[in-house]
Chain A
């Protein structure tokens, strides 16, 4: 099957800044693909390379097998939900949604009917006559979604679409987006800096760091088996253990990651340290222990005793929870 989006050694340099640097990427059709990374890691530039707002300095981008190097944005069959929604303030919601059909020359009656269908899809029936300024943030986000879907794109690009919403609304929208993607069977490419969002929504994700892809895989791959220290640090709240500590814990002298929920507190053990911070999380308590130079977090489930700050404790862990990784 032809991949929906393919990057072959793509770079985008802005003067001396290598925003995207030698990225190879394959996005399977029908997948919910997340690009995750801190700000400035190149994820948004990658999205803009797909939509055509950036041109690669080197390398090739293919959408459904077709090289789009010479294709301007308005001829690409992909649509974008912008981070600031970019709704046209002088048009009402219906005309905003119908815009893509209007510029293609569809008649008023037909395009308005289509716009109403799209508004129904995002549960905004009856909002057609309002101006964007009269909507809440969540409603604007839905209008932006409807507007991007009206052209029936083959790939939908979402640039941090939930970033401006409050937590509760964000969680609700995450579920809705996921359901919508299932229903439409479209390829969604989603840019986010929120690891929880990426892990919970995507079926595949790429973790970006300094213009390169640090790791690409399923959420389970990335969370359980981070390839690099950066991924372990950024994606999980994983503990990153230096080689000497890994060896003290019974492994080879390599960098390793250890998830807090696989880490337990014990009376005695090869590594012990001082409790320096406690954070109550409801379902448990996160205990941070300083062992030498390294801080190790352990998740103590609710109901179990939590050592007070300043006391010394040893740590233990499930042997197979220790994951070895590369050095960068």
Chain B
């Protein structure tokens, strides 16, 4: 095994170790040090992965490292489903990002969770959560990815439901898990289809020594299809697997769990919404990229587009600061998914990384605000908090700029969010142009993200202005507010720093490395076909940044919309409340405010219908099947009684009748046996007479003796 692999494996396993230590010794031995212990282990893990990152970049590797493979589950004939690691540019980049953010979240949590009665348990879960995510990004087969995928589901259940004494977290954690399981069901179906077509070679990477992609190439060639004319099952498998991503990355229509997941402690939100969990879906889509057919791409792009627009609309109207950020995450995830669907592979993943930094920071800032505001989360009670929380306000503003895609137009100088979002929009424009078959509808694929590029700065500015600017609207809250302890502010500052400068770090080139390897391998197996996406889309994309084209379209969005947002909301909701009273806008506002009624719809269609069906099944079981069994029992009993009657009356009757007959005969005979000699003589004589007469008759009548 290569040193880099060792480093990655150890970096991934360390959080598991720290989690176990915290579970078994946290309460008794570590106590208040549990948080620092976990954070320290995470830091070591980050340093290891950073070393791995540096080594990888200096190593000049052209192929993924996949030396570690363990046979796990036999599937007959000496074949196995395997576990192992896959180390490539994307992997080392993601591991570094995840461990970095997780370390900061751990440190932040030491401050945020101080005094909680299950303090050490929180860190056990948080480390386990990180471990699960690291398992996903290092997985080398779909099987292994699914294993850690489910572990992420479990740990998110534990974290979201961390305060399970209260009803809100109980419901939210259950909802998150079940919604994810709906996605998993799709994943399993896709996985099943691939398994039946490919058998054991459902490894993730297009490894030159015979990975999944090669197996697919062989399979579809054997079936008489080609990469330009792919078979149905491949599209179905791709969409099935992507359903898993819909669940984890909270895409439409399984998005409703993510805002509810705000019931968890804020550090959980900050990690769920950035480096882990929601990132897993995007990562999965990126890893299965080679098998996604144009049909699957269209599906993915559509889902991304719907989520992106819908979530932004909801973010516009929420008043809970965490809910705004939650919907903003949804919207940004929509960007990433749309980007993947549209073929902007590298930029979508790059956006995943840049977004992780600024969204984590935003959530930590919101946590600091909530901490300061004594768990008041409604922005209508905030206002003017910048004087009380200067560091937090500054970080929040920087990240607002980053998510808005701030740049100096017509130059290459910009915050990290600009580069990644620009790439996605450019890809979407290309994709829309290439999709000639859809006619005018195809234009939606670039109009959507472009419009939302204007909406994003606006709602972010709205939340910033409502929270930090203007006059305090709740004087009591304002007076008691104070800046968070250093454990909470330092991570914020670090993340804000990266929100600005992440683009300088070579994440994009790492991702591109993976992408180019994938594309070159595709060229080997399917000569002539560069990628699954329509020709023209990719080629225009990846020759570096080209801000002029897209820059003209949205380069000024951040100035215009942040300005508008700040102006409109710095004095609270007075202006906006007048606007939403306008007729059409009011309608839209009501819809968005009620989350487009998805929760109500699901409650009726699935939860209640499910319960009804369950009640029906249970009733059917008790009243029909079991009754049938009891009926069979009763019939047997009745039959037994019947046969008993027959036995008594008929069978016994015959026996008894015979006995009685014999008895009666005896009684008759007894009449004869009177015991007197004269009578006996009489009988003897009579008998002799009769017998003599008979003999005479027989001998005298001629025909009688002739009888045989």
Q: Do A and B share a complex?
A: no
A residues within 8 Å of B by Cβ? none
